[in-house]
Amino acid sequence: MSSLPSFFQTSKPKRFHFIPRYYDPEKEALQQRIAMIQQELGLTSEDDNNYVRRIQRGTMTSYFRRKLRKRERSSNLMLVVILALLVWLAWFLFF
């Protein structure tokens, strides 16, 4: 049947290209030892050791908490303003 011409072209199956990654604990331990020895001998610059992460754990959580508090304050303020307007309107209509 495959030798017969067909009106429809069938697509070829797509290939899955996966490059496996692996963890080599010996290589990482060796790199840590080399870094420690270089630091002891003073071969590294001071700028490498002064790296500080900008994003710390809990940063996003505190951001969302602050945002929630701000939203609650604004809704409370809006409620007070509406209540004051209603009281003023009631006073104006009845007195």
Residue 58's pLDDT band (boundaries 50, 70, 90)? confident
- Whole-angstrom distance, CA of residue 89 vs CA of residue 83: 10
Residues 6 or more apart whose CB falls under 8 angstroms from that of 35 comprise 44
What's the one-letter identity of residue 69? Answer: R
pLDDT at 3: 60
Which CA distances in Å does 79 have to 21, 84, 89?
57, 9, 15
Mean pLDDT, to the nearest integer, of 17-40? 86
pLDDT at 87 over 90: yes
**Do residues 38 and 44 lie in contact, with contact meaning Cβ atoms separated by under 8 Å?**
yes
SS3 at position 17: coil
**Is the pTM here over 0.75, yes or no?**
no
Better pLDDT: 8 or 54: 8
pLDDT at 59 over 90: no
